[in-house]
Amino acid sequence: MALTLSPALAKDKKAVKPMDPQAMMEAYQKLATPGEQHNRFAGLAGGWTTTTKEWMEPGKPPVESTGSVEMKMLLEGRFLQQEFTGTMMGHPYSGVGLSGYDNLRKRYVSTWIDTMGTGIFMMEGTASADGKTITLKGQHPELGGGQMTHRAVWKIIDPNSQTFEMYGAHGHGKEMKMMEITYTRKP
């Protein structure tokens, strides 16, 4: 068994090479520089109105509501912050989201907090070749145990319109469309 593990351990030791401190600093500076993905988010800064459809049960019509979103870039163009106000399921609702692109991991990352819970919802994913459709995946614990998985499709249609669709599946159940938000830029 020791002979089997020795080559694997040797590979691990080779994979981690000490980096020159100056080269490391230059690499981190490059990774910290906003790029094309961040610039695309910057184009979304401003005020938006929203129309939301929520499907509570398969085969039933969606519940519709309206809201307002203010988006702004944070930390010198690295992250897009959304502040949402409106209603959800007939109750006042507000939420804050942060979205960005992780240059090191080459993935989009997103967090969401709101007045319907005390947890932080996190998703991550990739974009289409043109960068206008971002698909994110995440999960959260459910009451009674288990996890609900989510898939979100965020489409930047043009500078004045975007959509956000959320799909979910309970445990190993079938995925269903849960929500669709249409964003229209305020004049």
Q: What is the CA radius of gyration of the chain?
A: 20
Any domain includes 108: yes
| Residue 142: predicted pLDDT | 82
Q: Counting runs of H as helices and runs of E as strands, what totals does the chain give?
A: 3, 10
| Residue 146: predicted pLDDT | 84
Q: List pLDDT tens digits, range 115-145.
A: 998 999 999 999 999 999 999 999 988 888 8
Residue the block writes with tokens 């939420």: 95
Q: What is the CATH number of the domain that holds 158?
A: 2.40.128.20
Q: Which residue range(s) make up the domain with 46?
A: 37-185
Any domain includes 28: no
Number of structural domains found in the chain: 1
Q: List pLDDT tens digits, range 48-106.
A: 999 999 998 878 899 999 999 999 999 999 999 999 999 887 889 999 999 999 999 99
Q: What percentage of the chain carries pLDDT values higher than 90?
A: 61
Any domain includes 121: yes
pLDDT at 183 over 50: yes
Q: Is the dihedral angle over the CA atoms 75, 80, 85, 91 positive or is it negative?
A: negative
Any domain includes 120: yes
| Residue closest to 175 by CA, chosen among 44, 58, 87, 43 | 58
Any domain includes 4: no
Any domain includes 104: yes
Q: List pLDDT tens digits, range 149-174.
A: 899 999 999 999 999 999 998 777 78
Q: Is the overall model pTM greater than 0.75, yes or no?
A: yes
Any domain includes 66: yes
